[in-house]
Structure 1
Amino acid sequence: MNTEQLFENIKRKGSYLCVGLDTDIRKIPRYLLDATDPVFAFNKEIVDATADVAVAYKPNLAFYEMLGVQGWSSLEKTVNYIRYNHPDIFIIADAKRGDIGNTASMYARAFFDHLDFDAVTVAPYMGEDSVKPFLTYLDRWIVLLALTSNKGAFDFQFMEDKATGEKLFEKVLKTSSQWGTTENMMYVVGATKAEELAGIRQIIPNHFLLVPGVGAQGGSLSEVSKYGMNEQCGLLVNSSRAIIYASDGEDFAEKARENALKVAAEMKEILKLNKLI
């Protein structure tokens, strides 16, 4: 999926919602535990309930890896189900990989050749050669960690160069933007750092941003959109817990849909305000 296709889907749905499939087997409704594959059963219901307003899904791999082989099976079935039943959806592996080139090549093969994700989150700490193997895949993306939503972001990401005053995350943006293009590289920018988005857009005006932290983490959709939106929207705003765990009963999918619709309705108004739909 390229930028134009992603933007067309945003306009068609009037939404730039990414639903995080952080599926914790300890939190899903108890009755689903009787299913052959409880995690997949949960994901399937969430996807079917929200696919008309979501433009992306983002499984967080930790929630699948902790279940071992069964978790990987659930993940693969989830991706295949979305691909077959909702082919317009952009699917992101929230894996945060980052290793030397040969290892990065194996990760790229795992997520793009085997699991058929559109994108994978990648940590930039080891530099260009740890990122480039992911960029060799046509019509696939990396989502590079730039400015995260957790409080630990202040440990390193805001460190300043004493000579220039440039923050570390700004250096990451400026350097890494030379490695790929707006057609194969996005960036993670946390919603809880919305005040930094105007400056980030000065550095990377045309890249898509994956923005976690709206919902349970307290990020503001209106603030993120005000400072982060560009002429092609340029935003995938993620909400995980606030949607998928809206209920722990048999109405979980219905309640997830209700919460997704609320977010999507706000997004539609913002898109109209910015004359994008």
Structure 2
Amino acid sequence: MKSFNNNLVESVNKKKSFLIVGLDPNPEKMPIKNIFEFNKEIIDSTYDLVVGYKPQLAYYESSGFEGLQALYKTVDYIKSLPERKIIIGDCKRSDIDSTSSAYAKAMFEFWDFDAVTIVPYFGTDGIKPFVDFIDKGIFIVCKSSNKSGGEIQDFFSEKSNMTMYQNIAQISDQLNNNDNVCLVMGATYPGELKTIREKHPKLPFLIPGLGHQNGDLAEIIDNAIIENIPNILINSSRGIIYASDDPNKFAEMARIKVQEINTQTKALYSF
């Protein structure tokens, strides 16, 4: 059986794209009201162009049972389509070991995500229950794209002689025995991208921050890929799914935005 990380690289090479579309249904921005139908139109218009999708659970949970049902239907719909896509449950879960085990079971067995995002604050006890699902991917938040993340992530420890995000990357690498551990690395910090990539060349990155957060595609590719190994996924959410507020054109405009990103990518990187 091929590892999750190996399948990730194969998927990127097959689609000649790094793109993951974030499915973040905000009722205040959606051009149609039905969450599942909104997701379905986005998926149908982009499916042949992207590596996968990343639903952010907070948007579904905030809509109550209707939102959770829409999430379940969305995952089920993507898995029913003929071409396999990576579905990342953006849940950022973690806790002490027993609670993390319950979280991992929920994310991987009930929701059936191919991968999840988790926070590493509880240490290896909180991470290992996810890693033990050897056919699933675990994206550990290392250096996030938001401005205030550095208040914690950039904290320097004299004892370890590294920042917190560097320590997170080191621990993540040590836990990668099943070749299924990855990192979340924000596009808005290209210098940190380069630092972590050089020290941890085998760990795939999920890179948010392209689009509304002004992450630069050329800087991402230049700093996150070495030895010509395309082990990165680039997420874009609002810039794609809310490219238009016209109920009759939002799906078409989402496709156009994806095509634009893919065209720019191919001008910068040869698959």
User: Normalization by structure 2: what TM-score?
Assistant: 0.94
Q: Using a 3 Å threshold, how does the CA distance of structure 1 residues 42 and 96 change in structure 2: closer, same or farther?
A: same
CA distance in 2, matches of 1:271, 1:86: 27
CA distance in 2, matches of 1:15, 1:213: 17
Q: Tell me what 1:240 maps to.
A: 237
Matched residues, percent identical?
39
Q: Tell me what 1:62 maps to.
A: 58
Q: CA deviation at 1:244?
A: 0.3
Matched, 1:268 2:266: yes
Matched, 1:114 2:116: no
Q: Tell me what 1:256 maps to.
A: 254
Q: CA deviation at 1:164?
A: 6.0
CA contact (8 A) 1:159 1:167 kept: yes
CA distance in 2, matches of 1:203, 1:117: 29
Q: Describe how 1:70-85 pairs up with structure 2 within 5 A.
A: 70-85=66-81
Q: Tell me what 1:3 maps to.
A: 5
* 4+ long deviations beyond 4 Å: none
Matched, 1:166 2:157: no
Once the two structures are overlaid, the 10-residue window that deviates more, 85-94 or 235-244, is 85-94
Q: 1:88 aligns with which of 84, 89, 114?
A: 84
Equivalences, count: 267
CA distance in 1, matches of 2:90, 2:128: 18
What letter is aligned with 1:213? G
CA contact (8 A) 2:186 2:193 kept: no
Q: Tell me what 1:150 maps to.
A: 146
What letter is aligned with 1:260? V
What letter is aligned with 2:251? A
Q: Tell me what 1:14 maps to.
A: 16
Q: 2:217 aligns with which of 217, 221, 232?
A: 221
CA contact (8 A) 1:213 1:238 kept: yes
Once the two structures are overlaid, the 10-residue window that deviates more, 260-269 or 115-124, is 260-269
Q: Tell me what 1:28 maps to.
A: 30
CA RMSD in angstroms comes to: 1.4
Alignment deviations for residues 133-168 of structure 1 (CA, whole Å, 9 cap, x no partner): 111213101100000011111211111123664111
Alignment deviations for residues 155-199 of structure 1 (CA, whole Å, 9 cap, x no partner): 111111236641111011112321224721110000001121221
Matched, 1:188 2:188: no
Alignment deviations for residues 64-99 of structure 1 (CA, whole Å, 9 cap, x no partner): 000111111100100010011154210001001111
Q: CA deviation at 1:229?
A: 1.2
CA distance in 1, matches of 2:14, 2:179: 20
What letter is aligned with 1:80? D
What letter is aligned with 1:251? K
